[in-house]
Amino acid sequence: MTPQSVSAIANVKKICEEHLQGRYELEVVDLYQKPQLAAGEQIIAAPTLIKKLPLPLRRLIGDMSNTERVLVGLDLQKKA
């Protein structure tokens, strides 16, 4: 895993715990170990966060350090 991926995972976990208090499921996939999943999930860049439920499906790309942007992307906050 790249340093950016490690940072993104930590940022997402922190955001989820602060705003969802355990009401989430997070699956971390290393695309170096499972490259076939990149095509199946239509991942074009890494790290990528995919929110599957509730619909609509959303994809966020980057280190997830911008909390407000992640919250908007996850439909947890309205765009300012």
Amino acid at 5: S
For the chain, list the domains and their CATH numbers. 3-73 (3.40.30)
Instruction: Please say whether the beta carbons of 42 and 52 come within 8 A.
Output: no
What phi and psi, each to the nearest 5 degrees, are found at residue 50? -115, 120
pLDDT tens for 18-76 read 999 999 999 999 998 999 999 899 999 989 999 999 999 999 999 999 999 999 999 99
pLDDT (tens digit per residue) in 5-15: 999 999 999 99
